[in-house]
Amino acid sequence: MEAVMQMELFPSANEDEIKYARLLLYRYARMRNAVNVLNSRATLTVKEKKVLEEYQRKTEGVELAISMIIEDDVRKVMEFRFIRGNTRWGTVKRFSSITDRSIDRRVVKGVKSVAETLKLIDII
């Protein structure tokens, strides 16, 4: 008898995809700044246009993925930490009612959720 493969409706992210999502989150502020600077320029080279399109697609994907996180506390931590560009220590201080280890667990959950959304919308 042949084995039956079951497809997932919402595909799970593997370890490499989660690492890539984390990388995108850490680079988000830099990419967003590059998009803003390149959009303000009158003329762009071919390479600058290519970078603008790629960074714009990735930053919009990250923003969408974070906004789609269902758990409110996880979404707030992810927005504060990555979208606003705060450090881990700043995040721990901002959410002082939550322990630093709980913040770390929320970030891990958030990164996994972001990776799955980015995979779903074909950025990963």
Over the stretch 107-122, which tens digit does the pLDDT of each residue have? 999 999 999 999 888 8
Residue 40 to residue 116: CA distance in whole angstroms: 32
On whether the CB atoms of residues 121 and 61 are closer than 8 A, the answer is yes
User: Which residue is associated with the tokens 């758990």?
Assistant: 71
115 closest CA partner among 106, 124, 102: 124
User: Residues 88, 79, 99, 109: is their CA dihedral positive or negative?
Assistant: negative
The verdict on pTM exceeding 0.85 is no
Over the stretch 40-92, which tens digit does the pLDDT of each residue have? 988 888 999 999 999 999 999 999 999 999 999 999 999 999 999 888 999 99
Q: Is 80 exceeded by the pLDDT of residue 8?
A: no
Q: Is 80 exceeded by the pLDDT of residue 94?
A: yes
